Amino acid sequence: MKENKECKIAQDLLPNYIEKLTNEETNKFIEEHLKNCEDCKKNYDDMKESLNKNNKNKEKKKVNFLKKYKNKLRILEIILLIIIVAFVVNTGRKVYIITDLNNKAEKYINSTNYHKIVYSLDKGNYTKSEVYSLDNKKKIILTTLTEDGKKEVVTIYGTKIGNAPDTPYAMVEPPIGIYKQNVYKETETEKTVTLNLESEIAVEPQKAFYGIENIKQLIVCAITSSINKTTYDGNKCYYVSGMPSILLNSSMYVNKDTGLAISLMASEYENPDGERGRVAGAEYKYEFGTVTEDDFIEPDISEYKIEDANDYINQ
């Protein structure tokens, strides 16, 4: 009877004893009882074993969860790595293309014999400007067709007499030249000529990416722009878009062989002082080595009314 009562107490205390929640006195009582009672000892062993199993399962679940978590993290790391590699490779590709095109253009922008034609449409005025350049001589033919159908042809014969001082943010390179010029103007009603005018002319071929001055700007341009292979007017070229607005020509077609822009989209830009400007859309055609002295023979001056150079400047 006594044994039975002790067993009951022992059974009640066993779970807490296994979890080590019982006090020293209770521990002594249970340990003494387990020594003498086989039933309770067996019960105790079973309970302990089942608890151990339970704990092991819990541990296993924890390990499995950690493994899954680690795998997911691994996949994320790989995806991130792929994105970074693709970004670096793509930026590198664009840096290479821009540098290559600018190197190719170098040969042409310093050419002393070229014929350049620019067609542009700006605010309803259609303009064709044609430049013949041979050493220090230039002939420029500007044909303007206004919205109301008026046509004007201005032909300039110029001889270079010096370089203009550098202007900040000049959107041209090489430096602007000062030319002594005879300017022939022809409208439907009159023909006039102004002789020996001195003014600046900036018509040299320009690199498509002429605003890029250092490696930082080059990388920024490569990151922000998209550059895709295509053809334009039968020429192999790149379509470039999304260039930073500080540069001109935010969208353009660039000839793959010459590095010169052959078509510009109309765009706006901002110079480092925050002033906004606008470039009209334009088409460019170039020929090199085809200009001769014959292109600079001036027309018979007797057909033209001679105007004073000072009046021309005041116009």
What beta strand segments (E) does the chain contain? 113-122, 125-134, 137-145, 151-163, 177-186, 191-201, 226-232, 235-241, 252-255, 261-264, 267-270, 276-279, 281-288, 305-307
State yes or no: residue 134 binds Zn ion (CB under 5 A).
Answer: no
232 and 263 Cβ atoms separated by less than 8 Å: yes
Asked if the bond preceding 272 is cis, omega within 30° of 0, the reply is: no
Which one of 30-38, 117-125, 156-164, 225-233 is the stretch in contact with Zn ion (CB under 5 A)?
Answer: 30-38
Burial class (CB in 10 A: 0-12, 13-18, 19+), 134: middle
Q: Cβ distance 286 to 260 under 8 Å?
A: yes
Find the helix or strand (DSSP H, E) in which 10 lies.
helix 2-18
Return the range that interacts with Zn ion (CB under 5 A); candidates 32-40, 101-109, 230-238, 297-305: 32-40
How near is the Cβ of 30 to Zn ion at its closest, in Å?
10
d(CA 18, CA 290): 103
Query: Nearer Cβ to Zn ion, position 37 or 195?
Result: 37
Q: Does 37 bind Zn ion (CB under 5 A)?
A: yes
Beta carbon of residue 35, minimum distance to Zn ion (angstroms, whole number): 10
> Shortest gap between Cβ of 47 and Zn ion (angstroms)?
13
Give the residue with the Cβ less far from Zn ion, 22 or 144: 22
- The reply on whether position 145 binds Zn ion by CB under 5 A is no
- Shortest gap between Cβ of 74 and Zn ion (angstroms)? 54
Residue showing tokens 């151990």: 52
Residues 38-77, interacting with Zn ion (CB under 5 A) = 40
Q: Name the one range near Zn ion by CB under 5 A: 37-45, 139-147, 248-256, 290-298.
A: 37-45
Is residue 7 involved in binding Zn ion (CB under 5 A)? yes
Nearer CB in complex with Zn ion: 8/56: 8
With contacts defined by CB under 5 A, name the span among 6-14, 18-26, 67-75, 136-144 that binds Zn ion. Answer: 6-14
**Size (the chain), residues:** 315
Closer Cβ to Zn ion, 35 or 68, answer by number: 35
Complex with Zn ion: residue 41 or 128, whichever CB lies closer = 41
In whole angstroms, give the CA distance from residue 20 to residue 51. Answer: 13
Which residue lies nearer to Zn ion by CB, 46 or 122? 46
309 binds Zn ion per the rule CB under 5 A? no
Distance of CA 300 to CAs 74, 80, 184, 192, 294, Å? 82, 72, 11, 12, 15
Shortest distance, position 63 Cβ to Zn ion, whole Å: 38
Please give the Cα distance from 264 to 280 (Å, whole number): 8
Buried b (16+ CB within 10 A) or exposed e, 29-52: bbeebbeebeebeebbeeeeeeee
Shortest separation between residue 39's beta carbon and Zn ion, angstroms: 5
- Sole window of 34-42, 51-59, 64-72, 222-230 interacting with Zn ion (rule: CB under 5 A): 34-42
Instruction: Kindly tell me which of 37 and 171 has the beta carbon lying closer to Zn ion.
Output: 37
- Enclosing H/E stretch for 167: none
Nearer to Zn ion, 40 or 240 (CB): 40
Select 40 or 237, whichever has its Cβ closest to Zn ion: 40
Contact footprint for Zn ion (CB under 5 A): 7, 37, 40
